[in-house]
Structure 1
Amino acid sequence: MTGTLAPSRTDAPARVRPVSPLRTELRRGLGPWAGAAAALVVLVTMYGKAPQWQTRWTDVTGLLHVVVGLLGGPVALAAGCRQGGRDRRRGTAELWESVPRSPLRRLLVAVAPSALWPVAGVLFADAVCLLAAWPYVSAGRPYLELLATDAVAIAALGVLGHLAGRLAPWRPTALLLGIVGYIGLAIGTYTNAKARWLGPAVEYRYAWARTVWWFGPVSMAWTAGLALAALLAYGARTARLRALALIPLAVAVTAAGMILRLPPNNGPWHVDPALTRPVCDGGAPQVCVTALDRKLLPAVSEALAPVNARLRGLPGAPARWAAGPLAPRPGDVALLDPVADAVRGRIERADRYRNFAVMQLFSDTCRQGDLTGPDAERVITVNTAVIQWLAPTPDGGPDVVGTQPYIDRLRSRSPAAQRDYLARYLAANPCHPDEVPIP
């Protein structure tokens, strides 16, 4: 008897997992390339300026804010425009219209690569730069709210570029839009008008400042509100949905009004007292920096050590060397911002830094009518000679006529005689030529 074979389990139809339209859109087209381009342009620009930002959180986030907005913004605009005009150029727009989804939902899926991929690229670049600065910073924190604001602005620019591409799908439109976007962002970045704080790339380089707490969220509402209003106005097919575009538009206008009420000069930035707190060494004269640069204090102290060895214990020597916006005290001598000569936590040109400090110590504070008479020119020459003796100008510096004999005399004296002369020079008034001792 022949039996009936049971159907094999392998003969059953395979169950196919539906593919998400959003995932498909994110993986195809120009989106991944736009993210890579945004990351590359930010990283290359930041790499070229690395010595300027690897010492302070305020510097790295401030420069990232400018670079991402000024360079990443046009990339997002151009890439979004190119992506938006793809279906019209390929003649597949009618095929999309036949998909059983609402027009607004189809638009949101199509616009996702233009908005998300450039954001992914700039966030990756942000993370790389923050990690590169982390070993060398002293205090404070990265302004993550600024970086989040930049990410929202890049997404908004990608959305607006995508809509522009749908309206004008010709190939040159993307390039033209990127160029126009760069020019517009540059004008907004470097103008002095109050409206510049509305732009996503405003430069403000004061290291000891932070933004008011509400600036980041309000800036996000401004850029996101514009993009969402444009999406609803373009993608809605009914009057009710178009009316909804007024809500994000009202939010954007309200946010813009708050930003425009900021002070014209400093905008949302104000001094952070925690960053301007003095941090000093135990030397004499004392060397003080702000808490923001406390990791640089050993390097600054080491750079000034040869000068301090000569000045220690002398009447008229500075009470302290002060670098940064410290509250002034009697006997202070202002130092150059150490970050100007610092690279990755060290003073790269200690001789130049030391020379500037001595020049500040013997800087001309004379009033009009002082430093006159037949010996005035000789006093200027002696002042230059003393500076060159204590801290020679790097690479030789300017050869002032008449200084070398005085320098040679000072160098030929015994340490005790040198110290005695320096004490007399510090005690004299350099604005009265008859009081200045001649080496």
Structure 2
Amino acid sequence: MTLLGTSPAPDTAPTTPTPLSHRLRTHPLTTELRRGIGPWAGLAVLVVIAFGMGAHTNDWQGHWARTCDLLRSSGLLLGGPLALAAGCWSGGRERRRRTGALRASLPRTPLRQTLLAAAPAVLWPAVGYLLAAAGSLLATWPYAGGGRPFLSLIAADAVAIASLSLLGFVAGRLVPWRLTAPLLAALGYVALGAPTYSARNSRWLSPALEHSYDWDRPVWWFGAAAAVWTAGLAAAALLGYAARVRAVALVPLAAAVGAAVLLVHTADDLWRPDPGAAALVCDDGAPAVCVTVVESRLLPEVSRATAGLRAKLRGVEGAPERLVGGPWEDGPGHRQKPRYAPAKGTDRLTGLEFAVVRDHLTDPALYANSAAGELLQDHDCTSAEADGDTRYGERATNINDAVVQWLAPVPSFSYYGEGAERQLKKIEAMSDGERKAYLTKYFAADPCDPKQVPVP
């Protein structure tokens, strides 16, 4: 019996609940994540991917599709072998330290112990990849036009990095030889990179396969299927090694096989034309200049760069009414490809991929000259018979070079020789009306027959 005002007995005192933050700090998983090779592996993956992306910023920083493409190849080809090696080294840690017996004496199940030990080597490389991907997307955001990043594929790539780490961890447990990690990294690099040079549908099983095309988008389930494929293999390896009932490993293995069959069967159709990205945005000039939505931020610069060229084409019969960039029509397999037989009144605008750094033209004059040259090169002359007399071919080449130089001059024209310079002087000596009449005849001539190219 307890008297009023007296303190309760020590064994009946109420206990204060442990704060969640304290439980998280002292949890074995938190301890494991702070130690060992895991944080260093994540940092190494982050640094190597950042270096790979930073060395090619001119190639991707203005396009979401190119950014995600290079993230896939750099992230998996550079970060994947690192993740394999780190996981393998972590997996052989207990054998090297001779702590296997101590681990076996713990009350946790072998599967739970393995998951706890593998967590740092699995999670940190994936975090390193995601940080590198986030930095690349932030670097692209100020310069990108239309379109959007493929976040589902970025998530699938992070899963692939974690899966490679887990496969490496299991390999390290099974083969705790010190050279296993570097050998496994080399083998992983070859296995990830070799499908790039293959034309078989099975190449799509490699998570590092790059798809470089600005006007495509992945099918909505591509990222999920790719994640199931890589995660299923890793989970099957883990369960086959550590589960009490190893037959349970058949479940993730079956899921991985199903995803692999879906990826291989779909193959190139994993990427489909994106009408929103390929839609045209045009200025109000004459002839009009049109670019696709993904390059829409470049339209003002392209318009300014080609203003002189288009002014010289006004009033010339046979000159194009529009200069259009980007994909034009469906090619084999219903895929958008540039069309080299343009519709009447429309001609192909030279591509921007090699003329642009981030969101500006590096050399507007050279780009305008290339656009003028595209007016003459956009013809299929494969069926034309070769003329045995090279005089006409040489004369036509000189005239073509002179017309391009007059439409869009560049300082390097002297490279084309004295013949082209003589033809240019003839064109420059004409009056405005004479030039328009000559260019009308020039565009009306058969470009595949050098004899028909009119002399200024």
Is 2:58 aligned against 1:56? no
Q: SS at the partner of 2:126?
A: helix
Q: Is the 8 Å Cα contact of residues 284 and 313 (structure 1) preserved in structure 2? A: no
Q: Is the 8 Å Cα contact of residues 277 and 290 (structure 1) preserved in structure 2? A: yes
Q: SS at the partner of 2:179?
A: helix
| Shift, 1:435, TM fit | 5.5
Instruction: Give the whole-Å Cα distance in 2 for the aligned partners of 1:179 and 1:397.
Output: 50
Q: Is the 8 Å Cα contact of residues 370 and 431 (structure 1) preserved in structure 2? A: no
What's the counterpart of residue 249 of structure 2? 245
Instruction: State how 1:346-357 maps to structure 2 within 5 Å.
Output: 346-357=360-371
What's the counterpart of residue 304 of structure 2? 302
Q: Which shifted more, 350-359 or 373-382?
A: 373-382
Which runs of 5 or more structure 1 residues have no equivalent in the other structure? 1-5, 7-13
Is 2:352 aligned against 1:345? no
Instruction: Give the whole-Å Cα distance in 2 for the aligned partners of 1:431 and 1:160.
Output: 59
What's the counterpart of residue 11 of structure 1? none
Instruction: Give the whole-Å Cα distance in 1 for the aligned partners of 2:302 and 2:364.
Output: 8
Instruction: Give the whole-Å Cα distance in 2 for the aligned partners of 1:433 and 1:194.
Output: 44
Aligned mate of 1:27, from 27, 31, 34 = 34
Instruction: Give the whole-Å Cα distance in 1 for the aligned partners of 2:31 and 2:359.
Output: 46
Which runs of 5 or more structure 2 residues have no equivalent in the other structure? 1-6, 8-15, 330-341
What's the counterpart of residue 385 of structure 1? 402
Instruction: Give the whole-Å Cα distance in 1 for the aligned partners of 2:170 and 2:234.
Output: 10
Aligned mate of 1:164, from 168, 171, 175 = 171
| Shift, 1:21, TM fit | 0.8
Is 2:322 aligned against 1:320? yes
Code of the residue aligned with 1:425 in structure 2: it is Y
| Shift, 1:396, TM fit | 4.0
Is 2:261 aligned against 1:257? yes
TM-score by length of 1: 0.90
Q: Is the 8 Å Cα contact of residues 73 and 157 (structure 1) preserved in structure 2? A: yes
Q: Is the 8 Å Cα contact of residues 300 and 338 (structure 1) preserved in structure 2? A: no
Q: Is the 8 Å Cα contact of residues 290 and 326 (structure 1) preserved in structure 2? A: no
Q: Is the 8 Å Cα contact of residues 26 and 32 (structure 1) preserved in structure 2? A: yes
Q: SS at the partner of 1:245?
A: helix
Change (3 A) 1:229 1:369: closer
Q: SS at the partner of 2:277?
A: coil
Q: Is the 8 Å Cα contact of residues 156 and 224 (structure 1) preserved in structure 2? A: yes
What's the counterpart of residue 280 of structure 1? 282
Instruction: Give the whole-Å Cα distance in 2 for the aligned partners of 1:143 and 1:386.
Output: 44
Q: How many equivalent pairs are there?
A: 422
What's the counterpart of residue 3 of structure 1? none
Q: SS at the partner of 2:276?
A: coil
Superposed CA offset, 1:60-90 (max 9, x none): 1111111111111101000111111111111
Q: Which shifted more, 118-127 or 131-140?
A: 131-140
Code of the residue aligned with 1:404 in structure 2: it is E
Code of the residue aligned with 1:88 in structure 2: it is R
Give every structure 1 segment of 4 or more consecutive aligned residues whose post-TM-superposition deviation is greater than 6 Å: 370-374
Is 2:105 aligned against 1:98? yes
> Aligned-residue CA RMSD in angstroms?
2.4
Change (3 A) 1:371 1:290: farther
Instruction: Give the whole-Å Cα distance in 2 for the aligned partners of 1:30 and 1:75.
Output: 12
| Shift, 1:371, TM fit | 6.8
Code of the residue aligned with 1:215 in structure 2: it is F
Q: Which shifted more, 224-233 or 93-102?
A: 93-102
